[in-house]
Amino acid sequence: MSSIPPSSSLDPAIAARLKRSADGLLPAIAQQYDTGEVLMLGWMDDEALHRTLTTGRCTYWSRSRQEYWVKGDTSGHVQHVKSVALDCDADTVLVKVDQVGAACHTGDRTCFDADVLLEDAESDVLSTGQ
């Protein structure tokens, strides 16, 4: 169980809609606004979402460090927020951003570059008939 601060400045109407995990968090998917490229997954509580909505910079909750972090404050790889949306179940946030530099802590452009499990399966099936 995390020790996330209970208070937040998030609009109560938004907070009432959210379906959080047992530890009070929502997965937040960061996507490049103009290309659709999926960059990373982070975690937000109500306060991180409030800060993201009001500052124009992505703020996440670090589960390992038990603290807030603003993407790019130490790396320079800033995420400028273009839009924020909830999914149909209100249990995931999609943040469309303009990513400066690498999104992944490994230095890759996205967190999904290095370990591709399946690629273009449909065209492989069409070309082999299987």
Annotated binding site for Mg(2+): 87, 89, 91
Annotated binding site: 87-89, 91, 104, 111
Annotated binding site for Zn(2+): 88, 104, 111
**pLDDT, position 116:** 86
Beta bridge partners of 40: 30
Domain residue ranges in the chain: 1-129
**pLDDT, position 99:** 97
Asked whether the beta carbons of 80 and 58 are under 8 A apart, the reply is no
Maximum Cα–Cα distance for the chain, whole Å?
Answer: 57
> How many other C-beta atoms are found inside a 10 Å radius of the C-beta of residue 114?
9
What pTM, to 2 d.p., does this model score? 0.84
User: 1-129 is classed in which CATH architecture?
Assistant: Roll (3.10)
Q: What is the rounded CA–CA span in Å between residue 3 and residue 32?
A: 31
pLDDT in tens, the chain (130 residues): 444 445 789 999 999 999 999 999 999 999 999 999 999 999 999 999 999 999 999 999 999 999 999 999 989 999 999 999 999 999 999 999 999 999 998 999 999 988 888 988 775 555 556 5
**pLDDT, position 3:** 43
Tokens of 31: 């996507």
